[in-house]
A and B are shown apart, each in its own frame.
Chain A
Amino acid sequence: MTDSLALVLVPGLPIFGFLFLSMIGKRYFAKQSGLIGTLLMLVSCGIACATAYKYFFVTGMVDGVYQHQYAFKYVWLPFSETVSIDMGAMMDPISMIMIVVVTFISLMVHIYSLGYMKGEERFAIYYSYLGLFTFSMLGLVLSTNIFQIYIFWELVGVSSFLLIGYYFDKPSAVAASKKAFIVTRFADAGFLIGILILSYYTGTLDFDTMIARLTMPGSELTAISTAGFLGISALTWGLVLVFMGGAGKSAMFPLHIWLPDAMEGPTPVSALIHAATMVVAGVYLVGRLFPVFALSCPAALDLVAYVGIFSSMFAAVIACTQTDIKRVLAYSTMSQIGYMMFALGVSHYGGEAGLGFTASFFHLFTHAMFKALLFLGAGAVIHYVHSNDMKDMGGLRKFMPVTHIVFLIACLAISGIPPFAGFFSKEEILTAAEHNNALIYWCAIATAALTAFYMFRLYFSIFWNKEYVGHLLHKKDNHHNDHAHDHGEAPWSMKIPLIILALLSIGAGFIPFGNFVSSDGRQLASEFHLTAALLPVSLAIVAIAAAMLLYGKENTGPGRIAGGAGGLYRGALNKFYIDEIYLFITKKIIFGFFGTIAAWFDKNIVDGFMNFLGMVSENFSDLLRRMQNGKVQTYAVYVFSGLLGIVLLMVFLWT
């Protein structure tokens, strides 16, 4: 199988699934649509893994450097001879890693949804949307051209909109999907401007050409660096605006407001989109343009780093107070993506100094595993308890043993406890931060401790804390989802992905990631400093102990601390009022002020002009109508006057 065929099939099978299931499957294969979708995804995942294997171990490396290879590339929309939008598939380390991650997590979610979404009325549509999303994400990571990535970026946003708003009869879900789409769309406006700036100065839209022109000293680089606006060079503006797009998609502060609300979608969707794949698109984008960031515009890279670490800490603080388990996981995602961002931000290009780059993508890889596991496990819990809130849970370890074990593994992984996967990736990030930026390093250590605390707060609140009595009330519950099953733990279709992901959360850390992904394509030996690892690990253990004390058994500790913290607690509980600020700005300032002016202009001036044209036309035709009044003498006047005119012309004026 050639690379081009493989990389056509890998996104091609999911989109075929989308078209087939949405058009035909809905009618005729409603019950089997889950299996069809899963089968297509299985084949796609297999081909993706095979292609990645072939790239990394057989064909990719030339002279010790991983090459950018093109499986196929053809000109789609030529603007001129030099500038065109191409559609293609690029094979390089990060895109290969991403297709493995995306297809694998998507496959796990497909299998899980067989059990979770069983009995849903719109089962086929759900799987078709999953296929659409997977196609869009794969197209995004395989893009060769910055406009192609933008196209797939928007497609991913659309798929996310469709999936978040899947329960469209719930107004909160509809509002959440709208919010997600609008916020990311707003960020994408900045992205588009950034694309235009960069492509204007480099004269191309192709990634490799653009990166080459922006990093080699030459006319384009000097032009873009000297041209400025408000004292900042055009290159910085371009990169910052492109990062704005990435920040919107990756839920960085202040464009993070959509992510907690996006938890209204079904839980497997949250696992796929808002944990493992879509939200890392921003990280991927910065990684794709990393040479430009690192070599030509360190200022933009600093911005990336500080936004990343701030989002990370911000989210960690909020997550300590939330009671909806999916919200806790959403903020945890935001925090971890902040880790990936600042890891890129502190990295340099090439060799040892490029450790941050490798660490970021390593964390992306391991995070996908355990975050998906956390979400799917939370889904199993929600499926059992029929509620999202921590207050309705507690003591579930007796009723859901498998879920309990895998959830514990995932929490240990995310807290960075050895030998689980998260430990290795976090270590690399902290090492990179320590070498480059002390402030960020200490903030990251603090965040790591907070991460361990709130994750284990979550774990203990669900599985320990109090005794679970909910199952005694179940007979009085009415099931709004028509599940025909007894209330045991999740079915096997839900347990298998949990187990597979748990195994990977344990084992993925031992992959020598530096051999595959690094900032300049050369292999980077992963270092392991035991002494450097001591501090964060011990802090994490302390945090876990604190969580156990506060939440292991029901007590008044948390209440007292919340009372003592007072304002800080209330602020964190209300997500620091960011949503209220946005509402104020949009409602009062934009709608109230600019909106009313624009509406006045539209109604009076634009409409008024149209009415004026209509009135002119009406009056003119009225005037003309008078000419034809049926009276002979009027016509005779016209004839006579015309005759006089002609006589005048012919007798006097014609020579």
Chain B
Amino acid sequence: MSASTIIFYILAAITLGGAILAVTSPKIFRSAIYLLFSLIGIAGLYFWLNYEFIAAVQVVVYVGGIVVLIIFSIFLTAGAGGDMKDPVKVRSLFAGLACLAGYCMVYFVIQRSEFIPALQPSIGSEVKTIGEQMLSTTTHGYLLPFELVSMLLLAAMVGCIVIAIKTRTAK
């Protein structure tokens, strides 16, 4: 039981604990904060795997962007006050059963399958390598998706503004 194993389990516990608390907490603001912890836990897992760049992106975008956005919207919709209403009992029962069944199924599949690790050496995950790969047009290059994602972000921005704009009503 080396230290990295223990650290992995701690990080996994943070992630899953935060997730469970996020979906069951009756106070919405606390739910958002638990989500934040869960995402930080995931970033920790990425760090543990030595994918620093991804971990950084995770922290910056998810934690710093999306959770902040969620908190903004909580304030905007005035829901941060008291407790939220309880979920519908029947549905939560069926949902719980379905999730349990699904988890068992996937667990079973995972147990059954053999994962053969690759024999080739690792390519490394420095920022330089990631950048070269992403912006290259040869094989295993991801330039096209990169450009498309940027256009998608533009479309999303414009769409958000259009949807959420307050139309000026004639007075």
Q: Do chains A and B touch in the complex (CB under 8 A)?
A: yes
Confirm or deny: B60 has a beta carbon within 8 angstroms of a beta carbon on chain A.
no
Decide: A651 and B109 in contact? CB cutoff 8 A: yes
Shortest 7 CB-CB contacts between residues of A and residues of B? A641-B98, A644-B102, A640-B98, A637-B94, A637-B95, A644-B101, A644-B98
B residues less than 8 Å from A637 (CB atoms): 91, 94-95, 98
A640 to B102, CA, bound (A): 9
- Chain B nearest Cβ from A325, distance in angstroms: 88
Chain A interface, DSSP helix/strand/loop, else mixed: helix
A residues less than 8 Å from B91 (CB atoms): 633-634, 637
A637 to B102, CA, bound (A): 12
- Chain B nearest Cβ from A389, distance in angstroms: 86
For this complex, 21 residue pairs linking A to B, each with C-beta atoms less than 8 Å apart, are: A633-B91, A634-B91, A637-B91, A637-B94, A637-B95, A637-B98, A640-B95, A640-B98, A640-B102, A641-B94, A641-B98, A644-B98, A644-B101, A644-B102, A644-B105, A647-B102, A647-B105, A648-B105, A651-B105, A651-B109, A652-B105
A residues less than 8 Å from B98 (CB atoms): 637, 640-641, 644
Chain B interface, DSSP helix/strand/loop, else mixed: helix
A641 to B101, CA, bound (A): 9
Q: From residue 612 to 655 of chain A, which have CB atoms closer than 8 A to chain B?
A: 633-634, 637, 640-641, 644, 647-648, 651-652
- Chain B nearest Cβ from A129, distance in angstroms: 74
Q: Which residues of A does B touch, CB under 8 Å?
A: 633-634, 637, 640-641, 644, 647-648, 651-652
- Chain B nearest Cβ from A635, distance in angstroms: 11
A634 to B92, CA, bound (A): 10
B residues less than 8 Å from A652 (CB atoms): 105
A505 to B117, CA, bound (A): 129
- Chain A nearest Cβ from B89, distance in angstroms: 13
A644 to B98, CA, bound (A): 8
Q: From residue 90 to 104 of chain B, which have CB atoms closer than 8 A to chain A?
A: 91, 94-95, 98, 101-102
B residues less than 8 Å from A641 (CB atoms): 94, 98
Across the two chains, which residue of chain B brings its CB closest to A648?
B105
Q: Which residues of B does A touch, CB under 8 Å?
A: 91, 94-95, 98, 101-102, 105, 109
- Chain B nearest Cβ from A303, distance in angstroms: 78
B residues less than 8 Å from A651 (CB atoms): 105, 109
A residues less than 8 Å from B109 (CB atoms): 651
A640 to B95, CA, bound (A): 9
- Chain A nearest Cβ from B104, distance in angstroms: 10
| Seed contacts A637-B94, A644-B98; 4 additional CB < 8 Å A-B pairs | A640-B95, A640-B102, A644-B101, A651-B105
A residues less than 8 Å from B105 (CB atoms): 644, 647-648, 651-652
B residues less than 8 Å from A644 (CB atoms): 98, 101-102, 105
A641 to B91, CA, bound (A): 12
A637 to B105, CA, bound (A): 17
A644 to B109, CA, bound (A): 13
A residues less than 8 Å from B95 (CB atoms): 637, 640
A644 to B94, CA, bound (A): 13
- Chain A nearest Cβ from B24, distance in angstroms: 16
A208 to B105, CA, bound (A): 85
- Chain A nearest Cβ from B73, distance in angstroms: 18
Across the two chains, which residue of chain B brings its CB closest to A633?
B91
Across the two chains, which residue of chain A brings its CB closest to B98?
A641
- Chain A nearest Cβ from B88, distance in angstroms: 8
A111 to B102, CA, bound (A): 99
A residues less than 8 Å from B94 (CB atoms): 637, 641
Across the two chains, which residue of chain B brings its CB closest to A636?
B95
A289 to B91, CA, bound (A): 82
Across the two chains, which residue of chain A brings its CB closest to B99?
A640
A633 to B92, CA, bound (A): 10
B residues less than 8 Å from A648 (CB atoms): 105
Across the two chains, which residue of chain A brings its CB closest to B106?
A647
A633 to B95, CA, bound (A): 10
B residues less than 8 Å from A647 (CB atoms): 102, 105
Across the two chains, which residue of chain A brings its CB closest to B102?
A644
A634 to B91, CA, bound (A): 7
- Chain B nearest Cβ from A625, distance in angstroms: 16
A634 to B88, CA, bound (A): 10
A409 to B98, CA, bound (A): 107
- Chain B nearest Cβ from A149, distance in angstroms: 73
B residues less than 8 Å from A633 (CB atoms): 91
- Chain B nearest Cβ from A653, distance in angstroms: 12
- Chain A nearest Cβ from B103, distance in angstroms: 10
- Chain B nearest Cβ from A48, distance in angstroms: 87
- Chain B nearest Cβ from A276, distance in angstroms: 85
- Chain B nearest Cβ from A400, distance in angstroms: 98
- Chain A nearest Cβ from B130, distance in angstroms: 34
A652 to B94, CA, bound (A): 22
- Chain A nearest Cβ from B101, distance in angstroms: 6
- Chain A nearest Cβ from B116, distance in angstroms: 20
Across the two chains, which residue of chain A brings its CB closest to B109?
A651
- Chain A nearest Cβ from B77, distance in angstroms: 18
- Chain A nearest Cβ from B125, distance in angstroms: 33
A637 to B109, CA, bound (A): 22
